[in-house]
Amino acid sequence: MKKKGIKSITIALRFIALAVMIMSSSVIVAQDKKNDSSFDLKSRKKEVADSIRIVERGMKMERDSTNKVHVVKRDSLIEIKHGMRIGVDLFTPLLPILGDNDDKAWQVKTDFRLTPKLYAAFDIGYQERTKDFTMQWSTSKGMFFKAGVNYALLRGIFDSDDMMYVGLKLGYSSYDRHVWGDTLRSTQWGNEHIVDINDSPSALWGDLSIGVMVQVARNVYLSMDAAYDMILSSSKPNGIGPMIVPGVGQVYSNTTGFSFSYAVSYRIPLYTKTHRMKIKEHIKENQETIDSKKKKEVFRPAFQSTELIEE
């Protein structure tokens, strides 16, 4: 009876977790849309996030025949607030609830802005995971570390800390492993051997990730990150290669893994530094309005009616 209660609670928790994830991802989408629709230089300057301040130096605008600005080139000095973001991964601790098992995991993600586009990133975490490998079971538990860089892509980089990024990190974990369950039998000799191995392997891997990070409140960020992990080197005690590595998860064909994180971060502002940047911004205009403007031009009289009267 009690067990049943616990089960229904975990199912409810799963639904809540899913709902939270879907809701927060829609927040990100909404945020993206908001950024898309508004481009107006004057209002933009006011809207600039608290993390940077643009100090204009030179501005060159490319105009077309309608005198409309299409491209703005700026050679600017940008004041950027450098800070350290500390985040907690919400996804990893959620996995055991989603998968209904006794695994445990947490992860803390940090990054630090080096240049306007480049961030140093450091993650630390713990993972305990048990998996059925058909012939045997394996449990891995241990701490893991990841260190590397995140490089911001596309727009949004200068206006705020919102970013889409690619990350390249190096991960390391030295963990405790328990492998058990396989039974070897010899019917002729009438004996059997149950495999039960405890060892402490370690693994070094490269982590190639892609992610988005969006500011949801002052100094509060949400981020999603999907990573492809490649085991670079791994110790093989008892001849057994990496099965589950903390920070990577299950390892396929001894080399590949996929990890995913969904984190909420808080930024601690540290100092402000001025960076010199070249910025080129394209102003997109609705094609329809351009067409209608052109039509108007075509049918505009070559001279005003008043001028005619005067002649």
Partner 1 sequence: MLLAVGFIALTSCERDDICPEGSMTTPSARLEFYSIENGREETIDASSLKFYGMAAGDTLFSSSPSSNHISLPLDFEHKESVFLVEKIKEVKDPSTGTVIDVINLTDTLTLKYEPVLTFISKACGYCFTYKNITMSCTTGHSITGYEVLIEGEPSYGELLSSRQVVAKIYIDATE
Is the Cβ of residue 1 or residue 135 nearer to partner 1 in the bound state? 135
- Please pick, from the candidates 184, 298, 302, 309, the single residue that binds partner 1 as defined by CB under 8 A: 184
Distance in angstroms (rounded) separating the CA atoms of residues 144 and 149 = 17
Backbone angles phi, psi at 184, to 5 degrees: -105, 130
Output the smallest distance, CB 211 to partner 1, in A. 7
Least distance to partner 1, CB of residue 159, Å: 22
Which of 72, 250, 255, 279 is the binder for partner 1 (CB under 8 A)? 250
- Spatial contact of 139 and 123, defined as CB atoms under 8 Å apart: no
Size of the site for partner 1 (CB under 8 A): 34
285 binds partner 1 (CB under 8 A): no
Rounded to a whole number of angstroms, the CA Rg of the chain reads 28
Write down the H helix ranges in the chain. Answer: 2-37, 41-47, 91-99, 287-298, 305-310
| Closer to partner 1 by Cβ: residue 188 or 287 | 188
Closest distance to partner 1 from the beta carbon of 303 (Å): 56
Measured CA to CA, the distance from residue 146 to residue 203 in angstroms comes to 12
- Does residue 52 touch partner 1 according to CB under 8 A? no
Among 65, 190, 287, 298, binds partner 1 (CB under 8 A): 190
Q: Is the Cβ of residue 159 or residue 199 nearer to partner 1 in the bound state? A: 199
User: By rule CB under 8 A, what string of x and - marks binding of each residue 1-40 to partner 1?
Assistant: --------------------x---x---------------
Q: Using CA atoms, how far apart are residues 263 and 223, in angstroms rounded to an integer?
A: 5
Tell me if 195 contacts partner 1 by CB under 8 A. Answer: yes
Structure tokens at 126: 């713990």
Q: Do 258 and 226 meet the contact criterion of CB atoms below 8 Å apart?
A: yes
Q: Is residue 133 a contact point for partner 1 (CB under 8 A)? A: yes
Beta strand segments in the chain, E: 52-63, 69-89, 104-113, 118-132, 137-153, 163-186, 191-199, 202-217, 220-234, 244-245, 249-250, 256-282
Q: How far apart are CA 275 and CA 92, in angstroms?
A: 36
Q: Which is nearer to partner 1, 74 or 129 (CB)?
A: 129
Round to whole Å and give the CA distance between 159 and 19: 30
189 counts as binding partner 1 under rule CB under 8 A: yes
List the x/- string, 217-236, binding to partner 1 by CB under 8 A. Answer: -------xxx----------
The secondary structure of residue 290, as a DSSP letter, is H
One residue of 76, 80, 89, 91 binding partner 1 per CB under 8 A = 91
Question: Considering beta carbons, is residue 210 or 264 the nearer one to partner 1?
Answer: 210
Pick 83 or 249: Cβ nearer partner 1:
249
Report whether 212 contacts 163 (CB < 8 A): yes
CA separation (Å) from 102 to 18, 98, 200, 257, 260?
Answer: 19, 11, 21, 21, 19
| Shortest separation between residue 286's beta carbon and partner 1, angstroms | 26
What are the residues binding partner 1 (CB under 8 A)? 21, 25, 91, 95, 132-136, 182, 184, 186, 188-191, 193, 195, 210-212, 224-226, 238-240, 243, 249-250, 258-260, 262
